[in-house]
Amino acid sequence: MSRWVSSALLGAGILALIGAGVAAAPKSAGHAPRAEAAKPLGIGREAKSDEIAGWDIDVRPDGKGLPPGKGTVREGEAIYMQQCAGCHGEFGESAGRWPILAGGENTLGSNDPVKSIGSFWPYASTVIDYIRRAMPFGNAQSLTNDELYAVTAYVFYLNDLIKDEHFELNANSFKSIKLPNERNFRDDDRDVAEKSLWRKSPCMTNCLPGPARITGRARVIDVTPESGKGPKVE
């Protein structure tokens, strides 16, 4: 083998070898090119229903995908204190720099919008879907369905979306929970709302009335790691 490689590298007919291979390749049988995306390739096997059940954990706003199970605010409080409060704070106010889970009502139009489940999120389903797939952080998909309903109920309670601590959250009662900010979302409208940003010939000369003035500098803004003042990447 090494002898062959070295002679090939030395130029002894590797091109000729390749050329011969091409010339000898059969042209027809079993080598017909396929028209793209015509009939299926027949690759992959059927997914079984129990396999799908194990992974299909999404929940939609209309409740499709909600698992069986139930849990009350009361039951949720114990789970929350044990598994969530360490990061998100006893009242969802955040312990340190972890995300808040509650608060911020009527701040969205202000200089400092606080986006929480109660103040910002449009759908209750997103809360249960997200906790189910991703929380507690570092121990994802560990909650039982009953624990999931209970702790979600408690998170709603922290946001005043449920007032009664005996409230039992389940696939049915879930539908009664509406988040107040739903109507304040609209689909992407940049093409229309910002139409003026499409322009045939942008200004090339004397585009400012006078020389450009510096109005802000990176180094005057205090973004020391310790102050934690910087905005967050979301």
Chain positions 139 to 198 lying near other proteins, rule: CB under 8 A, are 140-141, 184-190, 193-194, 197-198
Among 32, 52, 166, 192, binds other proteins (CB under 8 A): 52
The Cα 86–Cα 217 span in angstroms is: 38
The Cα 223–Cα 178 span in angstroms is: 38
The Cα 118–Cα 112 span in angstroms is: 16
Q: Of the ranges 68-76, 120-128, 159-167, 170-178, which one interacts with other proteins (CB under 8 A)?
A: 120-128
- Footprint (CB under 8 A) of other proteins, residues 89-108: 96-99, 108
- Footprint (CB under 8 A) of other proteins, residues 63-92: none
Distance of closest approach, residue 1 Cβ to other proteins, in angstroms: 16
The Cα 67–Cα 131 span in angstroms is: 13
Residues that bind ligand HEC in the complex, under the rule CB under 6 A: 83-84, 86-88, 98-99, 101, 127, 130-131, 135-138, 151, 155
The Cα 113–Cα 103 span in angstroms is: 11
Choose the contact partner of 35 out of ligand HEC, other proteins, none; CB within 5 to 8 A by kind: none
Select from 116, 97, 96 the least CA-distant residue to 105. 116
Choose the contact partner of 18 out of other proteins, ligand HEC, none; CB within 5 to 8 A by kind: none
The Cα 122–Cα 126 span in angstroms is: 8
Residue 65 · residue 57 · CB < 8 Å: yes
Among 27, 31, 55, 166, binds other proteins (CB under 8 A): 55
